[in-house]
Amino acid sequence: MTALSNASSLDLLDAVHSVVSRSLLQIASAFSAVLAPMVAHSSLLIFTEDCTGRPQKKAGDPSITNHVSIAELDAVRETVSSVGHPVWGITAVVARHERPAAVWIAPTGSLLVLTDPVLVSGAQSQEQALATIASLWRLVAVSIQQQVAVASPDYLRDSRMASQDRAQVIADLTDAHSTTLEQILATLRSRSASDETARQEATELAATAMVNLRAVSDRDRSLAEEPVARAFERLKADLRPLARFGGLDVQFVEPPANGRALPGEVAHAGRAIVRGAVLALVDQPGVARLRVEWDCDGENLLIGIRDDGPGELAVEDPAVRQLVERADALRGRLSVNGTAGWGSEISVVLPLSAEGLDRSPSVQWQITQREADVLELVASGARNKAIALSLSISENTVKFHVANLLRKAGVSNRAELVSAYR
């Protein structure tokens, strides 16, 4: 691809399309590839609170992408005065080390960071590069927001997997560090200690470390969970135009204000399912009233949508099948009951817990049995020729399956594929 400074408008459109058409797992690597001809960088980091489960999207040097933290990206964001005012050439702590960085914030609030940015010779000036990337970033950030709102089954599965992993890591870190710091405090507070000044300073340091640890845990929870009442308010805002301009009488039954907070992927799935269900219901003739209800029994989000239509909607309808797939992605269930002349009711149950989630690649990445066979051999270290002989297929077919596996796993090479598989 030629440098973006020399690209025509069509080239820019193609570049944007190559990014926004990717899944959320692949969007960072695609965006990095588009920006590389203009600005070389060691890593591209995206931080978006729209996307629960994986608020970070990363591409580039693993020594950076594997260690950058949300707390660091929060601190980087503070260096940008406002939306539309990118910062170039700052020094920021990223992945535990100070590095040169360039930073952009989109109107959606999403953050873009390029580490070790260097203008490519012959490309745009710094001012032009900042403006061009800002324009592209606005479109990419909107695409991320829209993909989250659509809540595709693949996105929901990945978010649930990430939520399960993160919750366990946070719990382990919190327990381990809290125990250690409490031991330090107990030791330093002991009367047998002789150096009062050292004991006081160490106590303050340990207390500060505990506060910081709790802050990190709380910040992660704020990204991963959404209070049920707030989630329902967002749903009402989504449906308000239908009531205002569609002539519908929409009744909302509020959930308990003190109900258990919803995992982000459950909140997104719930809103997407309700939006889709409402559109499917009002597409029937004669629908004038809707009743939308959310509840939470402590273990599940319970959703009910009822209309006053002909009562002919069925789970086999294409529009409803899409909603079933979203519920299935979170191990939930969706049913449709109709009474001729009295209306239809869609009932949804979405578990709040990720426990018992099938983590096998065939489920996580939605791969075929043949792809699973190829993946197992790739993980064993076999090359394409050996895989072809073992499975009695051609090397070209092996290459085809490996390419599909890389795409579905959201990685760029065999080493990353094997690492993700393990």
233 and 337 together in one domain: yes
Provide the residue type at 347 as one letter.
Answer: S
121 and 210 together in one domain: no
In this prediction, what percent of the chain has a pLDDT beyond 70?
80
* Confidence band for 221, pLDDT divided at 50, 70 and 90: low
Q: What is the CATH number of the domain that holds 135?
A: 3.30.450
368 and 340 together in one domain: no
User: Which of the listed ranges 81-95, 291-305, 400-414 does the model predict with the highest average pLDDT?
Assistant: 291-305
pLDDT on residue 203 = 75
Position 248 in a domain: yes
pLDDT (tens digit per residue) in 309-353 = 999 898 888 889 989 989 988 889 999 998 888 899 999 999 988
77 and 16 together in one domain: yes
User: Which of the listed ranges 113-122, 146-155, 373-382 does the model predict with the highest average pLDDT?
Assistant: 113-122
- As given in the structure block, the two tokens for residue 43 are 């890593």
* Confidence band for 114, pLDDT divided at 50, 70 and 90: very high
pLDDT on residue 7 = 46
Last residue of a domain, one of 351, 384, 404: 351
The CA distance from 377 to 391, in Å, is: 10
DSSP string of 27-41, one letter each residue? HHHHHHHHHTTTEE-
Position 357 in a domain: no
Instruction: Starting at the earlier edge strand, list the strands of the sheet with 56-60.
Output: 56-60, 43-47, 111-115, 97-105, 87-94
Nearest to 60 by CA among 140, 114, 17, 119: 114
23 and 138 together in one domain: yes
The CA distance from 350 to 328, in Å, is: 9
Cross-strand partners of 348:
303, 334
pLDDT average, residue stretch 234-245 = 82
pLDDT (tens digit per residue) in 147-194 = 888 888 877 877 776 666 565 556 556 655 666 666 677 666 666 666
pLDDT on residue 45 = 96
165 and 259 together in one domain: no
* Confidence band for 307, pLDDT divided at 50, 70 and 90: very high
Give yes or no for a contact between 159 and 226, defined as CB atoms under 8 angstroms apart: no
Position 298 in a domain: yes
The residue ranking higher by pLDDT, 253 or 10, is 253
Give yes or no for a contact between 60 and 40, defined as CB atoms under 8 angstroms apart: no
248 and 176 together in one domain: no
179 and 297 together in one domain: no
Position 72 in a domain: yes
Structural domain boundaries enclosing 380: 362-421
85 and 46 together in one domain: yes
Q: What is the CATH number of the domain that holds 368?
A: 1.10.10.10
296 and 258 together in one domain: yes
Last residue of a domain, one of 150, 177, 212: 150
143 and 259 together in one domain: no
Q: What is the CATH number of the domain that holds 344?
A: 3.30.565.10
Position 356 in a domain: no
Cβ count within 10 A of residue 369: 8
Position 241 in a domain: yes
Count of domains for the chain: 4
Last residue of a domain, one of 100, 129, 150: 150
194: number of CA atoms within 13 Å, CB side? Answer: 0
159 and 145 together in one domain: no
Position 392 in a domain: yes
Position 146 in a domain: yes
Asked if the model's pLDDT at residue 5 lies above 60, the reply is no
DSSP string of 98-149, one letter each residue? EEEEEEEE-TTS-EEEEES-EEPTTS--HHHHHHHHHHHHHHHHHHHHHHHH
